Amino acid sequence: MIEYIKGQVTDVNPTYVVIEAAGVGYAINIALPTYSELVSKEGQEGRLYITEIIREDVHELYGFFSKGERELFVMLMTVSGIGANTARMIMSAYSAAEIRQIIATGNARALSQVKGLGPKTAQRIIVDLKDKVLKIDLADGKRGIADEAIALLGVETNAATDSPVKQEAVSALVMLGFAATASGKVVDKILKAAPESSVEQVIKQALKML
């Protein structure tokens, strides 16, 4: 079992990062808050706590900036119908602290805004995790990413139709399983309304609109 991977951050994308450790490059799936923490560290040393998803035809690594975020991810996957990709979408739409608060207060409406989570699934998450989620310690490592921190760490755009922000956001959404055409339209709409938005902000908003 891999506890964490520490090494040089050689490639950073909104949905995955590559960390080279002892001459091996590990492709690690990440959620948006982790991207926000690592986007300024490309070429530098970084460390992610790891969860391995191993099946007959799959061996995937999911990385998190803190142990608390990893624990929340694993806890979400204990709920029937919630797989790794859905759990990652939830953790991309909200910070870990926000998710904990949403579940603890029974805010099914906020949860159901995430793609793939209907009212019944959102309610199931709350029922299954409401008594457990407050036990997660999110103080280890850095805090969950607030919108202000995302803005500071993100790359701003002039909202040009073919801007790098649009390209990177659409690419990330496609990797998450959304159609390219629909993703492009949503991203255009977001950038038209808020042209100064960063990649992280665009993706976070798009996950609630697609």
**H/E segment holding residue 204:** helix 199-206
**Would you state the pLDDT for residue 140?**
56
Nearest to 39 by CA among 205, 200, 202: 200
Show the beta-strand stretches assigned E in 56-103.
58-64
| Residue 148 counted as domain residue | no
Domain of 85, CATH number, reads 1.10.150.20
- The parent domain of residue 110 ranges over 67-135
Q: Would the pTM count as exceeding 0.75? A: no
Rounded CA separation 47/205 (Å): 27
Tell me the pLDDT tens digit for each residue of 174-199. Answer: 877 787 788 888 889 888 888 888 88
Place of tokens 């603890």: 104
Q: How many CB atoms lie within 10 A of CB 14?
A: 24
Q: Phi/psi at 160 (nearest 5 deg)?
A: -65, 150
Average pLDDT over residues 131-152: 57
Last residue of a domain, one of 85, 108, 135: 135
**Would you state the pLDDT for residue 210?**
75
Number of domains in the chain: 3
**Would you state the pLDDT for residue 5?**
96
Are residues 103 and 92 both part of a single domain?
yes
Tell me the pLDDT tens digit for each residue of 78-131. Answer: 999 899 999 999 999 888 989 999 999 999 988 988 877 888 999 999 999 998
